[in-house]
Amino acid sequence: MSKLEIDFCGVKFRNPTVLASGVLGVTASSLKNVVKNGAGGVTTKSIWLKEHAGHKSPVMFGTDHYFMNAVGLSDAGIEKAEKETFPEYSKGGRPAPIIANIVAGKIADFGKLAERVSKLDPDIIEVNISCPNVEDELGKPFACSVVDAAAVTKLVRSKTKKPVIVKLSPNVSNIGEIAKACAGAGADGFCAINTVGPGMAIDINLRKSILSNRVGGLSGPAIKPVAVRCVYDIYKATGLPIIGTGGILTGEDAIEMMMAGARLVGMGTMVYYREVEGFGKVVSEMEEWCRKNGVKNVEEIVACIS
Amino acid sequence: MKIQTFDTRPVALTIKKIVRENENTNTYVFDYPLGARSGQFVMLWIPGVDEKPFSVAYDNGTEFWLTICRVGPATKELFKLKEGDKVGVRGPFGTNYEFKKGDKVALVAGGYGAAPMYFCAHEAVKAGAEVDFIVGARSEDLLLFTHKVSGLSDVDLHIATDDGSCGFKGYTTQVLEKLFKKKKFNKVCTCGPEIMEKFVGEIAEKHGVDAEISVEKYMKCGFGVCGQCVIDDSGEPICKKGCVMKYSYLKRMPEFGKYHRDAQGKKHNF
Ligand SMILES: Cc1cc2nc3c(=O)[nH]c(=O)nc-3n(C[C@H](O)[C@H](O)[C@H](O)COP(=O)(O)OP(=O)(O)OC[C@H]3O[C@@H](n4cnc5c(N)ncnc54)[C@H](O)[C@@H]3O)c2cc1C
Ligand SMILES: Cc1cc2nc3c(=O)[nH]c(=O)nc-3n(C[C@H](O)[C@H](O)[C@H](O)COP(=O)(O)O)c2cc1C
Ligand code: FES
């Protein structure tokens, strides 16, 4: 048996797979079901300070090669996380580490959120500064500017003792530079990548863009090479732990992501192709690969190409 | 023919016919080999407006129907569309009902649940089952599909109205209780308000039948990704593990018959 257990920012994960933010993350019972199906950890859907409506449907669809979404970060606000999600997830002991993903339109709100969410004792705080689907509302994501990304990180860092990781956007010319700025501002690690684009798809018979928001973020198999490259760049620039996310569907995809520099692997769109049971399958596939390749401890392969 | 792929882009379809069922209910007819089984649903996209889940009310392999009540902003816009207008359809999604020869089936329908239950009756008869169809509404003018159901052979139609304006005065569940005294059903299927469905489940269980229930939760994706439709406490998405689910499963869910969630995931009690 190869060892898949791995440490990330001082938190122990029984295996490197983590549910990415925004997929199956509306309720505590949903997160628990993902753990039951094999995930080593879970990330909440992005939490706002106040209730946030999200976009009208259609908000997502998939093809054989890619997936598109513009959910628009619908959420009931931090109050629901306080009253429901965290207490229920923690009842009777947490089944796996939980990462609280927070999002805001104003830098100051990230500070307030970090303070409140810390009280819920999340294992890690993930700062979402990279959603491309709310640009109309919020303007360019903070993750597209070295200055803004560092400012958000610094504020969150000052408000919590929890490990802070920053979720980065691939839609920048130099992700390594952004990562370095966040590291300088106190980030403990990264989650990369958020969705690519935004992209656009038109129904030629209806002469309308399919997503009601017109544009949406790309995820799934097509973005894996971009994600692998971003993780490689971030690792090279900072050496900090990374949740490598983007287009991972199989154990071999996960191994590839770890070789690029990821200590954990995030999966969202995998659920579309393999259902929630896919987590357990990916874990078995990773184990099998490690066994066949004489890898006793999965940690050995992290950043092995660097 | 569409081969099995992971493509869930909407298909643009022309509304072939609109049948007015009552003041606030229309049936939309489409020429398209959707290939839905009874109990399944589609996501209907009203371009420029919104996209919402609706059960398939009939599918014969070349044509399918959606029977829709006007209740809010999206359905209000839909009701402005005319024959010849185009909409988008994704699906079919979800689990379905199955019938076999010799089945003794009770179908219990409330509200627009009559439409998907009609599809069930149709499929049950085709499989060689015997069907009792119980349909309820507040009053006679709100009853749906009674003529279509009475047109099916091997189906006994039972009507219940709250005000007694047609058929039995009372609830569909009372009719089901009465029928159980006379008949040994081996299958009970229901679609309607969740509270009614819960009672149907309890009654069937008392008589040794594990009812199959169409569950409705707030849906965005329809394919088990967004997490909007998950039920407490199993945390499983209804769009994928349902909508047709067993009562023996649902009765263990503290959410069933008690509350549902909105587009932001906030709880609302029934
Ligand atoms: C599996 C399934 C099958 C359905 N089948 C039918 C059907 O055959 N005929 C029919 O008339 N209606 C059906 N519905 C209900 C239908 O989806 C709603 O009536 C419709 O979405 C209302 O939208 P609105 O904007 O007009 O009204 P709103 O004012 O937005 O909503 C009215 C009610 O519909 C519910 N609703 C709104 N949006 C959704 C959504 N995205 N998912 C689930 N519920 C929603 C709300 O909770 C509210 O209770 C079905 C729902 C589900 C989940
Ligand atoms: C339907 C959907 C919703 C998402 N919602 C969020 C979100 O709320 N917050 C966030 O940080 N990322 C969100 N993402 C991005 C994912 O967490 C992930 O970074 C991205 O999809 C790439 O990984 P994947 O290919 O494994 O899905 C969402 C992605 C999808 C597909
Ligand atoms: S509607 Fe998205 S998971 Fe069920």
Segments making up each domain of chain A, as ranges: 6-301
Strands A215-219 and A67-69: antiparallel
Give the Cα separation of B222 and A285 in Å (integer).
Answer: 28
- pLDDT tens profile B113-147: 999 999 999 999 999 999 999 999 999 999 999 99
Residues of A in Cβ contact (< 8 Å) with B233: 29
Q: Are strands B50-59 and B41-46 parallel, antiparallel or unpaired?
A: antiparallel
- When pLDDT is averaged across residues A24-41 and rounded to a whole number, the result is 98
The pLDDT of residue B4 is 57
- Secondary structure string (H, E, C) spanning chain A: CCECCEEECCEEECCCEEECCCCCCCCHHHHHHHHHCCCCEEECCCECCCCECCCCCCCEEECCCCEEECCCCCECCHHHHHHHHHHHHHCCCCCCCEEEEECCCCHHHHHHHHHHHHCCCCCEEEEECCCHHHHHHHCCCHHHCHHHHHHHHHHHHHHCCCCEEEECCCCCCCHHHHHHHHHHCCCCEEEECCCEEEEECEECCCCEECCCCCEEEEECHHHHHHHHHHHHHHHHHHCCCEEEECCCCCHHHHHHHHHHCCCEEEECCHHHHHCCCHHHHHHHHHHHHHHHCCCCEHHHHCCCCC
The C-alpha angle with vertex A132 and arms to A208 and A116, in degrees rounded to 5, equals 130
- What residues of B are in contact with residue A62 (Cβ under 8 Å)? 6-8, 223
Q: Quote the pLDDT of residue B240.
A: 96
Q: By the CB < 8 Å criterion, does A176 face chain B?
A: no
Ligand closest to B68 (CA) is: 1
**Residue among B8, B90, B265 whose CB faces A27 most closely:** B265
State how far residue A73 is from chain B, nearest Cα, in angstroms: 9
Q: Is the pLDDT of residue B81 over 80?
A: yes
Task: Render pLDDT for A193-212 as a digit per residue (tens, 0 to 9).
Answer: 999 999 999 999 999 999 99
Query: Is residue B223, in this structure, part of any structural domain at all?
Result: yes
Chain A residues inside the 8 Å CB shell of B268: none
Taking an 8 Å cut-off on Cβ atoms, the answer to whether A27 and B48 are in contact is no
Of A9, A131, A230, A290, which one is the catalytic site residue?
A131
**Inside any domain, residue B31:** yes
pLDDT of residue A253: 98
Structure tokens at B106: 């009770």
- Tell me the CATH number at B82: 2.40.30.10
Q: Is A191 a catalytic residue?
A: no
**Rounded (5°) CA angle B52-B46-B53:** 15
Whole-angstrom Cα distance, residue A181 to residue A185? 6
Final residue in a domain of this structure, among B37, B59, B93: B93
pLDDT tens-place string over residues A213-258: 999 999 999 999 999 999 999 999 999 999 999 999 999 999 999 9
Structure-block tokens of residue B230: 């998950």
> Which of B94, B126, B130, B104 has its CA nearest to residue B219?
B94
A139-154 pLDDT, tens digit each: 788 999 999 999 999 9
Query: Would you mind telling me the total number of residues written for chain B in this entry?
Result: 270
**Token reading at B3:** 């081969």
> Is residue B2 predicted with pLDDT exceeding 60?
no
Is the pLDDT assigned to residue A53 strictly greater than 90?
A: yes
Amino acid B188: pLDDT: 98
Residues 246-265 of B with CB under 8 A from A: 261, 263-265
pLDDT band, residue B256 (cuts 50/70/90): very high
Cβ-Cβ contacts under 8 Å, A77 against chain B: 264
B98 within a domain of the structure (yes/no): no
Select from A188, A182, A180 the least CA-distant residue to A236: A180
- In the predicted model, what is the mean pLDDT of residues B100-104? 96
B179 and B55 share one domain:
no
The tens digit of pLDDT for each residue in B170-201 reads 999 999 999 999 999 999 999 999 999 999 99
Residue A4 backbone phi and psi in degrees, to 5:
-100, -15
Q: Are residues B50 and B154 in the same domain?
A: no
Is residue A135 over pLDDT 90? no
3 state SS of B121: helix
Percent of chain B with pLDDT strictly greater than 70: 99
CB pairs under 8 A between A and B: 137
Q: Which of B56, B73, B93 marks a domain boundary? A: B93
Does B229 sit in the ligand 1 pocket, CB within 6 Å? no
What is the identity of the amino acid at B153? S
- Domain check: are B210 and B80 in the same one? no
Closest residue by Cα to residue B201 from B191, B192, B212 = B212
Residues B208 and B262 in one domain: yes
- pLDDT at residue A136, rounded to an integer: 67
Rama region for B131: left / alpha / beta (φ>0; ψ in -120 to 50; rest): beta
Among candidate residues B93, B121, B136, the one where a domain is terminated: B93
What confidence score (pLDDT) does residue B1 get? 41
Within this chain, do residues B142 and B262 fall inside the same structural domain, yes or no?
A: yes
Work out the average pLDDT over A40-65.
97
DSSP count for chain B of H helices, then E strands = 7, 18
- Amino acid sitting at position A17: T
Claim to verify: residue B174 and residue B239 sit in the same structural domain: yes
Burial B8-25 (b: 16+ CB within 10 A, else e): bebbbbebeebeebeeeb
Closest Cα in chain A to B90: A61
B255 shares a domain with B132: yes
Q: Is the pLDDT of residue A29 over 80?
A: yes
Q: Any chain A CB within 8 A of the CB of B228?
A: yes
Do B36 and B141 share a domain, yes or no?
Answer: no
- Tell the residue number behind the tokens 């569940």, with chain if given: B173
Inter-chain touch A54–B263, beta carbons under 8 Å:
yes
pLDDT value, residue B236: 98
CA dihedral B75, B81, B85, B86 (to 10 degrees): -20
> What does the pLDDT read at residue B5?
80
> Which of A189, A199, A267 minimizes the C-alpha distance to A227?
A267
What stretches of B138-217 adopt beta strand conformation (E)? 155-161, 168-169, 187-191, 212-214
Comparing CA positions, the residue from A153, A81, A46, B171 lying closest to residue B158 is: B171
**Which fold would CATH assign to domain A6-301?**
TIM Barrel (3.20.20)
Mark whether B21 and B127 lie in a shared domain.
Answer: no
Alpha-carbon distance A25 to B70, whole Å? Answer: 31
Residue B85: per-residue pLDDT: 98
Residue identifier of the C-alpha nearest atom 29 of ligand 1 = B72
Evaluate whether B52 touches B43 at the Cβ level (below 8 Å): yes
For residue B68, report the distance from its CA to the centre of ligand 1, in Å. 9
Quick one: average pLDDT of B39-68?
A: 98
**Structural domain of residue B46, as residue ranges?**
11-93
- Nearest by CB to residue A29, choosing from B12, B48, B235, is B235
- Kindly state the helix (H) or strand (E) to which residue B238 belongs, with its residue range: helix B238-241
- Rounded to two decimals, the ipTM of the complex is 0.95
- Average pLDDT taken over every residue of chain B: 96
Residue B191 lies in a domain: yes
* Range B85-113 average pLDDT: 97
User: B188-207 b/e with 16+ CB inside 10 Å = b?
Assistant: bbbbbebebbbbbbebbeeb
Contacts of B29 (CB under 8 A, 6+ apart): B15, B16, B17, B18, B19, B63, B64, B65
Total number of domains in chain B: 2
pTM value is 0.96
Best residue of B221, B241, B252 to probe chain A, by most A CBs closer than 10 Å:
B221
Q: Is the pLDDT of residue B202 over 90?
A: yes
CATH number, position B212: 3.40.50.80
Question: How many Å lie between the centroid of ligand 3 and the Cα of residue B238?
Answer: 7
